[in-house]
């Protein structure tokens, strides 16, 4: 007996030792078309991604095997629709489906087996996705709505007061329901109920588009909302951007309309379809008596409709819906996420005004709306107005909102308490004026509901410098506040449009902080949809304003963002898809805008550079302005090089040589026209002219250092270490200064709090980023407090240069990372993280009293070169995961595989 137990002990010890040494490999974060368990994919060959993790360093995938089945059980039993077989590759990003044709409306289940260099192969959990409609003929529903205008003022073309439409339909399910999918597009914006319950947290859905070209619909699995007896579907329709009807000149597509198709599968295998048709009822006599994103929502509680979205409601006073014309655009399952409430914040103060009104301060310039719990008096409206700043006397500053009315009105049906939040508007605001209360409300009566596209926050960033930290926070609020199914210029005034130039480089910087690939991919489609038949690209997309200026610098976003989606996310589909449209635009520009190998058209110049006088919006000083032909030609040259790379990706050798030849000619003409070899100045020697030439590779060999000297001289001399560029130059400034050896100048610009600088904005109360460097003093005609275009390449610099999280050029989506931070004097620590498609990358360095330490994590299946200045006195010894240690000039270069590492002295 004793012998046996000793033997058992020994056996257990062996098992324990083995357990601790067996790496804990996991396959996580299963995604289909970059989404977790998506419902509503209409791509015939969806692509799969996953991440691998383990507690042991140097994890590499050796092979994968992907399986797809019609149910989780069939997946386990091996009754498969597709088995990829063993594919010996590290690939785990966007692996395409290659099985039998997939069917509309079917849910598929998948898992992936991964064999790594650490132990046995492991299976992932089971993921799923649901197909949307793959054929136009799947649609049985008709577009419905209400043709007549019901309210006074609805026809006012300048500022519409159209009431929300309420639509309902009762239907009998009759039998136990197994599965139910709702395909729905409620234009402009909709909110949907089944049996009185909201089916999703989405707001202002579906996403915006150029409705004559594309109409996006959402798919929801609504099985849990249905009963086996009577059911009611209710939909509210707001105007959104479909029925815009407002000045100045916003495109309008028509009155709101709905397309809905509910596909019910019963437990007994039979099916039913409930679709929008003339059996539905409609009213526009409900409580939302007017709604418009720019002007506000008016809610009259006296007109509440009771249980209009539940069974048995008496809708005899409602009308039969009108059949409406289809919007014209192709119906597409929405690829990008909808908007929803992402955060709730509380106001920080409330101040009574002499006129009995109250001013609420949210403490933050935010985008969304105010949700209230107040007490009102029957028939006495409570009026809320929204603004970003206050006037000196403490009242709202509304001048910079131009014609946007930004007013929500609630009229109580009875005396007493009520709770309310609008549905079909949003505001960009920090302050709210509340009129119509006869008591002082409490701060707790209000909640700021922050809305933007549902996407993961992928980055964190913090340093020892409070100015940088505040600017990062301001950028974070500004970026998310300007995601509205398109990246908008601003969220508050009468504009709120997808201006291309604002995002050309910004989108790349934003991608460190937000998982914005799907939003931007959809926006590239808006850009293509908005392209004119001649090939001209609209400066705003969707082109709700008609602006075909044929300049280069704004349309460049089309190319740069497609490239960003490829390099940051590893997805080349946008490049491939839009390549013909890009090519059309290039040809159009060459035909209409090129003279003597220069592009001579430009509309915006170096938009919003700091002007010579504090009141101006645009500089009038010719020494500060950069020549338009220079800007257009420099950027076009860069786009030719991009096109050559895009062509290369597709093995299109003919195009490569066309673009390369033209680029060479353009470079020659550019230098002949603008470069002075004696002084190494471009044109009138603005920082923008020189930095674009330098960073875009236009400077003749051997002159780079001299051109750079001019940039530094100008910045340190004329501008005393301040920024002198507008939207164009700022896209290259921080990286340009740093990669040419003057991180000290970049750091000064980044930490200045005197005019002009991001720090100046923050010091003067900005909690987002201003449209103008002089936003506090300039004319209100074009002066928003929440624009992101002046961020330029700042966020890229934060992550790539300060934190040292940079994708090695040519290595897609962080398969290989260059970790080579710069260490500007005065900056003592940086802590940053970024969720790449492979997993989280972390970099946290600090230095104090001659001590340096650096903690790094890189995810499974990736590698990095870690670059440590030799004079930091760090000794690197070989450890598991460290592949190589090299000395290279002033640096120790450590080649690492996945894992967590600490370097220090
Ligand atoms: C917008 C900008 C835009 C610019 C171009 C402005 O009104 O707000 O962000 O890029 O116009 O003209």
Q: How many other β-carbons are positioned within 10 Å of the β-carbon of residue 370?
A: 23
| Nearest CA owner, ligand 1 atom 1 | 489
| CA of residue 688 to ligand 1 center, whole Å | 19
CB of 638 closer than 6 angstroms to any ligand 1 atom? no
Ligand 1 atom having least distance to the Cα of 499: 10
672-710 pLDDT, tens digit each: 999 999 999 999 999 999 999 999 999 999 999 999 999
Look at strands 851-869 and 816-819 and give their pairing: parallel
| Nearest CA owner, ligand 1 atom 3 | 499
Q: What is the pLDDT of residue 18?
A: 32
CB contact set of 194 (below 8 Å; sequence gap of 6+): 182, 222, 225, 226, 231, 232, 233, 234, 309
CB of 490 closer than 6 angstroms to any ligand 1 atom? yes
Query: Does the pLDDT value for residue 157 go beyond 90?
Result: no
Ligand 1 atom having least distance to the Cα of 727: 10
Lowest mean pLDDT among 153-167, 351-365, 517-531, 657-671: 153-167
Encode 428-493 in three state secondary structure: EEEEEEEECCCCCCCHHHEEEEEEEECCCECEEEEECCHHHHHHHHHHHHHHHHCECCCECCCCCC
C-alpha angle with apex 833: 827 to 834, nearest 5 degrees?
A: 130
Residues in the chain: 905
Question: What predicted TM-score, i.e. pTM, was given to this entire model?
Answer: 0.96
CB of 770 closer than 6 angstroms to any ligand 1 atom? no
- How far apart are alpha carbons 812 and 236 in whole angstroms? 44
- How far apart are alpha carbons 425 and 189 in whole angstroms? 10
Q: To test ligand 1's pocket by mutation, which of 401, 481, 489 has the most ligand atoms within 8 angstroms of CB?
A: 489
| Nearest CA owner, ligand 1 atom 4 | 499
> How remote is the C-alpha of 433 from its chain's centroid?
30
| Nearest CA owner, ligand 1 atom 8 | 489
C-alpha angle with apex 901: 897 to 904, nearest 5 degrees?
A: 135
C-alpha angle with apex 666: 661 to 671, nearest 5 degrees?
A: 135
Q: Are 322 and 309 in contact (CB under 8 A)?
A: no
CB of 789 closer than 6 angstroms to any ligand 1 atom? yes
| Nearest CA owner, ligand 1 atom 9 | 489
CB of 551 closer than 6 angstroms to any ligand 1 atom? no
C-alpha atoms less than 13 angstroms from C-alpha of 6 in its C-beta half-sphere: 3
| CA of residue 496 to ligand 1 center, whole Å | 10
CB of 602 closer than 6 angstroms to any ligand 1 atom? no
| CA of residue 14 to ligand 1 center, whole Å | 69
Q: What is the pLDDT of residue 244?
A: 81
Instruction: Pick the more confident residue, 531 or 252.
Output: 531
Ligand 1 atom having least distance to the Cα of 554: 10
Confidence of residue 248 (pLDDT cuts 50, 70, 90): low
Look at strands 296-300 and 177-187 and give their pairing: unpaired
**Of residues 154, 162, 167, 122, the one with CA closest to residue 27:** 122
608-655 pLDDT, tens digit each: 999 999 899 999 999 999 999 999 999 999 999 999 999 999 999 999
Distance (Å) of CA 467 to CA 464, 676, 748, 749, 796: 9, 38, 11, 11, 17
Look at strands 882-888 and 891-904 and give their pairing: antiparallel
558: left (phi over 0), alpha (psi -120 to 50) or beta: alpha
- At how many degrees (to 10) do helices 687-695 and 628-649 cross? 20
| CA of residue 783 to ligand 1 center, whole Å | 10
Tokens for 249? 């000149």
Q: State mean pLDDT over 31-40.
A: 98
Q: What is the pLDDT of residue 20?
A: 40
Q: What is the pLDDT of residue 152?
A: 60
CB of 358 closer than 6 angstroms to any ligand 1 atom? no
Tokens for 132? 């949307």
| Nearest CA owner, ligand 1 atom 2 | 489
CB of 514 closer than 6 angstroms to any ligand 1 atom? no
CB crowding 568-592: b at 16 or more within 10 Å, else e? bbbbbbbbeebbebbbbbbebbeee
| CA of residue 165 to ligand 1 center, whole Å | 33
C-alpha angle with apex 480: 479 to 481, nearest 5 degrees?
A: 90
159-214 pLDDT, tens digit each: 677 899 999 999 999 899 999 999 999 999 999 999 999 999 999 999 999 999 99
Q: What is the pLDDT of residue 657?
A: 97
């Amino acid at each position: 007996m004793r012998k046996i137990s000793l033997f058992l002990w020994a056996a257990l010890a062996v098992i324990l030792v083995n357990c601790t040494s067996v790496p804990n490999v996991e396959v996580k974060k299963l995604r289909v078309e970059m989404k977790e368990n998506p419902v509503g994919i209409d791509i015939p060959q969806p692509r799969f991604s996953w991440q691998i993790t383990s507690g042991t360093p140097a994890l590499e995938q050796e092979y994968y095997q992907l399986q797809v089945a019609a149910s989780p059980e069939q997946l386990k039993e091996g009754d498969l629709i597709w088995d990829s077989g063993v594919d010996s590759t590290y690939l785990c990003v966007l692996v395409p489906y290659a099985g039998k044709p997939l069917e509309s409306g079917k849910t598929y289940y998948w898992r992936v087996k991964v064999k790594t260099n650490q132990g046995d192969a492991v299976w992932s959990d089971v993921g799923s996705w649901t197909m949307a409609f793959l054929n136009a003929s799947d649609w049985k529903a008709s577009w419905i709505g209400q043709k007549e205008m019901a309210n006074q003022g609805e026809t006012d073309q300048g500022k519409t007061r159209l009431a929300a439409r309420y639509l309902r339909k009762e239907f009998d399910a009759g039998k136990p329901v197994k599965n139910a999918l709702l395909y729905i597009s409620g234009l402009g914006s909709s909110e949907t109920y089944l049996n009185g319950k909201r089916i999703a947290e989405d707001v202002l859905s579906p996403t915006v588009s150029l409705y004559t070209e594309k109409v996006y619909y959402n798919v929801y699995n609504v099985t849990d909302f249905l009963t086996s007896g009577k059911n009611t579907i209710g939909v509210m329709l707001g105007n959104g951007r479909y029925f815009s009807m407002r000045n100045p000149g916003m495109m309008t597509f028509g009155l709101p309309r709905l397309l809905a198709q509910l596909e019910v599968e019963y437990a007994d295998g039979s099916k039913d379809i409930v679709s929008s048709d003339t059996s539905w009822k409609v009213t526009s006599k409900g409580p939302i008596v007017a709604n418009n994103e720019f002007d506000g929502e008016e809610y009259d509680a006296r007109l509440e409709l009771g249980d209009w979205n539940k069974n048995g409601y008496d809708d005899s006073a409602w009308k039969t819906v009108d059949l409406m014309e289809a919007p014209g655009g192709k119906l597409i399952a929405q690829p990008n996420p909808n908007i929803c409430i992402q955060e709730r914040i509380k106001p920080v103060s409330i101040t009574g005004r002499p006129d009995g009104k109250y001013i609420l301060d949210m403490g933050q310039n935010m985008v969304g709306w105010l949700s209230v719990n107040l007490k009102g008096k029957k028939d006495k409206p409570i009026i809320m107005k929204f603004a970003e700043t206050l006037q000196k006397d403490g009242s709202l500053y509304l001048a910079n909102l131009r014609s946007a009315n930004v007013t929500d009105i609630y009229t109580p049906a009875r005396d007493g308490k009520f709770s309310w939040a609008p549905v079909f508007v949003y505001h960009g605001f920090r302050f709210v004026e509340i009129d119509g209360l006869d008591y002082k409300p409490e701060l707790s009566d209000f909640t700021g509901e922050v809305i933007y596209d549902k996407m993961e926050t992928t980055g964190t960033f913090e340093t020892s410098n409070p100015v940088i930290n505040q600017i990062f926070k301001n950028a974070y609020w500004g970026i998310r506040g300007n995601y509205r199914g398109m990246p908008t210029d601003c969220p508050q005034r009468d504009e709120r449009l997808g201006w291309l130039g604002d995002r050309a480089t910004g989108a790349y910087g934003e991608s460190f902080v937000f998982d914005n690939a799907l939003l931007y991919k959809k926006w590239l489609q808006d850009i293509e949809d908005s392209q004119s038949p001649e090939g001209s690209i609209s400066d705003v997309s969707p082109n709700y304003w008609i602006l075909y200026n044929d300049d280069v610098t704004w349309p460049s976003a089309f190319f740069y963002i497609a490239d960003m989606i490829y390099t940051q996310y590893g997805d080349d589909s946008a490049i491939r898809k839009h390549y013909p449209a890009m090519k059309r635009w290039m040809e159009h520009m060459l035909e209409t805008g090129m003279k003597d190998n220069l592009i001579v058209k430009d509309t915006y110049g170096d938009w919003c550079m700091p002007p010579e006088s504090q009141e101006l919006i645009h500089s009038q000083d010719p020494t500060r302005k950069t020549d338009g032909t220079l800007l257009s030609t420099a950027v076009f040259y860069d786009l030719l090089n991009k096109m050559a790379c895009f062509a290369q990706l597709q093995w299109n050798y003919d195009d490569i040589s066309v673009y390369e030849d033209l680029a060479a000619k353009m470079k020659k003409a550019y230098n002949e026209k603008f470069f002075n070899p004696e002084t190494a100045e471009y044109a009138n020697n603005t920082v923008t002219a020189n930095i674009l030439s330098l960073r875009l590779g236009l400077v003749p060999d051997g002159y780079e250092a001299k051109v750079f000297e001019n940039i530094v001289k100008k910045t340190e001399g004329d501008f005393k270490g301040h920024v002198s560029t507008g939207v164009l130059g700022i896209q290259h400034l921080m990286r340009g200064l740093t990669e040419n050896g003057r991180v000290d100048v970049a750091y000064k610009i980044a930490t200045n709090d005197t005019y002009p600088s991001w720090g100046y904005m923050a010091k003067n109360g900005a909690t987002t980023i201003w449209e103008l460097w002089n936003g506090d003093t300039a004319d209100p005609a074009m002066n928003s407090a929440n624009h992101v275009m002046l961020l330029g390449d700042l966020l890229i610099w934060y992550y790539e240069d300060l934190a040292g999280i940079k994708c090695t050029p040519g290595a897609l989506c962080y398969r290989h990372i260059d970790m080579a931070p710069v260490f500007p004097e005065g900056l003592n620590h940086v802590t940053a993280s970024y969720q790449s498609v492979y997993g989280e990358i972390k970099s946290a360095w600090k230095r104090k009293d001659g001590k340096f330490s650096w903690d790094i994590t890189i995810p499974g299946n990736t590698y990095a070169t870690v670059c440590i200045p030799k004079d930091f006195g760090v000794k690197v010894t070989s450890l598991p995961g460290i592949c190589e240690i090299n000395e290279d000039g002033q640096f120790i270069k450590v080649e690492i595989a996945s894992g967590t590492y600490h370097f220090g002295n």
